[in-house]
A and B are shown apart, each in its own frame.
Chain A
Amino acid sequence: MNRFFASLRRNYEQGRISAILVLGLTILIAVVLFGVVGSLFVDPINATVGAVRPRRPPGADYFLGTDSQGRDMWTLLIYATPNTLKMGLIAGFIGVGFGAVLGLIAGHFGGVADAIIRVISDALLTVPAIAVLVVIAGNIDRMSTLIMAMVVASLGWMFTTRTVRAQVLSVREKAYIEVARVNGEGPWEILFAEIMPNIMPYIVASFVGTVSGSILAVIGLEALGLGALEEMTLGNTIYWSQQSSAVLRGYWWWWGPPIVVIALIFIGLFLTSVGFDRFANPRLARR
């Protein structure tokens, strides 16, 4: 534990841990804590339809007011935030894992595998993700948060593949790879034991971006009404508020708080990814 803190301190003094990274992580941790700690203090029953008096503005009884279906917004928000984060994380893990493996294979083995992977990922990168996701999500009968995460992950791997492939191409020319080859390590061993650890910072950096992109896609699909409507998520809250024209009727407490939480999540992720770039790439830290 002491060594961990010592290394943290050394990195901080070298300017690798920037204020941006700290700020970004603080925001993210605060959002997570909001969901985790908050759920200890509120009763989930208040977030079900018809539990409380509908259309109350924020006040003494209901801290953030209630929506027109009789749900307490404060309770709803506390349960919706972790669900949305969960979908983003699952989609991020699947997307980055899949993307990294494809990128490693494409960069390391080259040839036909590389050509196929590159062509498909380039073609999918230029397609508007939401259009394809709408077709997939619209054809699924029983939507759940887990399926939603997998749907979104199906288009969340291309960026990682591109980044990892480019890095593999530069790493595999290094002398220690040649040494490993001469020592008799097989191609797969070289790939996962020698190359992968060296490009780990890039994989982690693209994880942050992929989670951010996944949450964006999830909220977009949910706002279109393609999400798991019976679950509490931030995107569904936006969808219901739109369905009830909450904006035109002036119920700002219905759509405002979810937007603030969503904005905090994205700003936190954005700052973290910028900060992490500096951590992974010390040359940027001096600026």
Chain B
Amino acid sequence: MSKELQRYLLTRFGQFLLIIFVAVSINFIIPRLLPGDPVQTALARLQTAGGAQNVDIQAVSASYRAKYGLDAPLIEQYFNYWMDLFRLDLGVSFANFPEKVSTMIGNALPWSVGLLATATLIAFLTGSLLGARLAWPGAGRGIKTLVPMMMVLTSIPFYLLAIILIYFFAVVLRWFPPAGGVDTTRIMRFDWETTRDILNHALLPALSIILGNIGFWALGMRSQMINVLGEDYITFAEAKGLPPRRIFVWYGMRNALLAQITALALSLGHVVSGAILVEVIFNYPGLGSLLYVAIRGQDYFVIQGVVLMLIVSLAVLLFIVDLIYPLLDPRIRR
């Protein structure tokens, strides 16, 4: 490993830690900046919402006060907050007392990751390929009309696209189930039937994320590719008589993709924001729906936990993108 690569990785790791630090601090500070005691406020609201009839409010409140030392100085609270995080202790749900928030998140996470990772990857690859093809001389008519249409789809928030998709494919045509992650009666097993059921449920949510993102990647890739194709090494490769396909993939796309991957890192937050709402619309059993139910029920610690989880997992993803980057760009590796 060369010195430059070491420095690069260290900087990126520092940024990763910084994002986590800022995010956790924001999550700690915001509820405490507002007037009132967070637990009291949350419990009071929970009672007025009528969601806590089966909960012993006194016991819950007392256990929280003792556990989080809400009367302790702020610095001490902050320290305890971090200690709990390291033990993966995110508190207990109010609405489903005494279920642990970490368990609830653990159940929801695989659904979200599976859906989002697949959909984003498909959108990124297809979009980039389309965009590159569009910049290449002699792009077909089909692509030239397809991409502007994709752009229009991209400018609409993709959870609204989800509503339209549900209406046509689940309500009118009845091809796909309108909601949920799996059939409610299904017993989860590792067999073909279960897989098919999961895929069947995931198709519409994935499609709305893909349709909503393809245009963005296509447009980005197109402008990158136009820049790359103007470079001298492309002219040189043509002069050497390399086959066009080789120039397109290894001289054009490979270089243009670098900027796309930077854009991927920057836009992941946007994609996750949209995906949360797609999950809500489809009632998909991931983090987005968990967050929604928690907001509806004023389930304070679940909200905090999910938000923290979203930010941390995004930071991890960004860090992974940063780690992949030197593999693609030899200039950093050296």
Q: How far is the CA of A247 from the CA of B281 in the complex (A)?
A: 10
Contacts of B306 in A (CB 8 A): 131
Q: Is B23 an interface residue (CB 8 A)?
A: yes
A225 within 8 A of B: yes
A220 at the interface (CB under 8 A from B): yes
A136-B160 CB under 8 A given contacts A124-B22, A126-B265, A128-B269: no
**With A120-B22, A130-B273, A220-B157 in contact, is A248–B171 under 8 Å at CB?**
yes
Residues in B neighbouring A224, C-beta threshold 8 A: 277, 280, 291-292, 295
- Measured between C-beta atoms, what is the minimum distance from B167 to chain A in Å? 5
A-B contact pairs, 30 of them (CB 8 A): A124-B22, A126-B314, A127-B23, A127-B311, A128-B272, A128-B276, A128-B311, A131-B310, A134-B307, A135-B30, A135-B31, A136-B30, A138-B303, A217-B273, A219-B157, A220-B157, A220-B159, A223-B159, A223-B280, A224-B280, A224-B291, A225-B292, A242-B281, A247-B163, A247-B171, A248-B171, A252-B167, A263-B160, A267-B156, A269-B155
Residues of B contacting A267 in the complex (Cβ-Cβ under 8 angstroms): 152, 155-156
In the bound complex, CA of A37 to CA of B261 (Å): 46
| Nearest-Cβ distance from residue B324 to partner chain A, whole angstroms | 16
Find the residue from B22, B30, B273 having the highest chain A CB count within 10 A.
B273
5 extra interchain contacts, Cβ-Cβ under 8 A, other than A131-B276, A131-B307, A247-B178?
A: A123-B15, A123-B18, A252-B167, A259-B156, A263-B156
A contacts with B: majority SS? helix
Nearest Cβ on chain A to B28's Cβ, whole angstroms: 10
B277/A223 in contact, CB under 8 A: yes
- Let me know if A270 is at the binding interface, CB within 8 A: yes
In the complex, A262 has a CB within 8 A of chain B? yes
In the bound complex, CA of A255 to CA of B164 (Å): 9
Query: How many residues on A have C-beta within 8 angstroms of the other chain's C-beta atoms?
Result: 41
Minimum CB–CB distance for B151 against chain A, Å: 8
Return the contact of A127 from the options B15, B19, B151, B152 (Cβ within 8 A). Answer: B19
Q: Is B9 positioned at the interface, with any CB of A under 8 Å from its CB?
A: no
Closest A residue by C-beta to B309: A131
Q: How far is the CB of B331 from chain A (nearest CB, A)?
A: 21
- CA A255 – CA B162 in complex, angstroms? 12
The reply on B266 being an interface residue by CB < 8 A is yes
In the complex, how many angstroms separate the beta carbon of A20 from the nearest chain B beta carbon? Answer: 11
In this assembly, does A125 line the interface, its C-beta being within 8 Å of a C-beta of chain B? yes
Q: Is the CB of B273 within 8 A of A270?
A: no
Chain A nearest Cβ from B107, distance in angstroms: 19
Evaluate whether A134 and B303 lie within 8 angstroms (CB atoms) in the complex, with A126-B268, A139-B30, A267-B156 already known: yes
CB distance from A229 to the nearest CB of B (A): 12
Chain B residues with Cβ under 8 A from A132's Cβ?
26, 307, 311
A127 to chain B minimum Cβ distance, whole angstroms, is 5
Minimum Cβ distance to chain A for residue B3 (Å)? 23
**In the complex, what distance in Å separates the CA atom of A125 from the CA atom of B262?**
13
Distance A96 CA – B260 CA, assembled complex (angstroms): 26
Q: A231 an interface residue at 8 Å Cβ cutoff?
A: no
The verdict on A238 contacting chain B, using a C-beta distance below 8 Å, is: yes
Q: Are B277 and A127 in contact (CB under 8 A)?
A: no
- B266 and A270: CB pair below 8 A? no
Closest to B164 in A: A259
Residues of B within 8 A of A123 (CB): 15, 18-19, 22-23
CB of A266 within 8 A of CB of B155, answer yes
- Residue of B whose beta carbon sits closest to that of A226: B295
> Which A residue sits closest to B38, measured CB to CB?
A139
Interface digits, A123-155 against B, CB 8 Å rule (1 contact, 0 not)?
111111111101110111000000000000000
**A129-B269, A220-B157, A220-B159 in contact; A225/B296 too (CB < 8 A)?**
yes
State the 5 A-B residue pairs at the shortest beta-carbon distance, nearest first: A130-B273, A270-B155, A128-B272, A128-B269, A266-B155
The answer to whether B295 touches A266, judged by C-beta atoms less than 8 angstroms apart, is no
Decide if A135 touches B303 in the complex (CB within 8 Å). yes
- A136 contacts across to B, CB distance below 8 A: 30
Q: Which residues of B contact A266 (CB under 8 A)?
A: 155-157
Give complex CA distance A269, B151 in Å: 13
Residues of chain A lying within 8 A (CB to CB) of residue B171? 247-248, 250
Q: Say yes or no: is A169 at the interface (Cβ < 8 Å to chain B).
A: no
Interface hits, A193-231 → B, CB 8 Å = 216-217, 219-220, 223-226
CB pair B314 A128 closer than 8 Å: yes
Whether A1 sits at the interface, judged by CB under 8 Å, is: no
Asked whether A119 and B18 contact (CB < 8 A) given A125-B269, A266-B155, the answer is: yes
Instruction: Answer whether A122 and B311 are a contact pair too, CB < 8 Å, given A138-B295, A225-B295, A247-B166.
Output: no
CB interface residues, B 7-54, toward A, < 8 Å: 15, 18-19, 22-23, 26-27, 30-31, 34
- Shortest CB distance B297–A (Å): 11
Complex: how many Å from CA A124 to CA B167? 36
CB of A130 to closest CB in B, whole Å? 4
CA distance A217 to B303 in the complex (A): 18
With contacts A223-B280, A259-B164 known, is A128 near B273, CB below 8 A? Answer: yes
- Minimum distance in angstroms from B207 CB to a CB of chain A: 16
> Do B265 and A135 have beta carbons less than 8 Å apart?
no
Chain A residues with Cβ below 8 Å from B31 are 135, 139
Closest to B32 in A: A139
Write out the residue numbers on chain A whose beta carbons fall within 8 Å of the beta carbon of B307: 131-132, 134-135
Chain B residue with Cβ nearest A234: B160
CB within 8 Å of A: which B281-334 residues: 281, 291-292, 295-296, 303-304, 306-307, 310-311, 314-315, 318
The residue among A119, A126, A136, A219 with the most chain B CB atoms within 10 A of its own CB is A126
A127 to B269, CA, bound (A): 5
Which residues of chain A are within 8 angstroms of B273 by Cβ–Cβ distance?
128-131, 217, 220
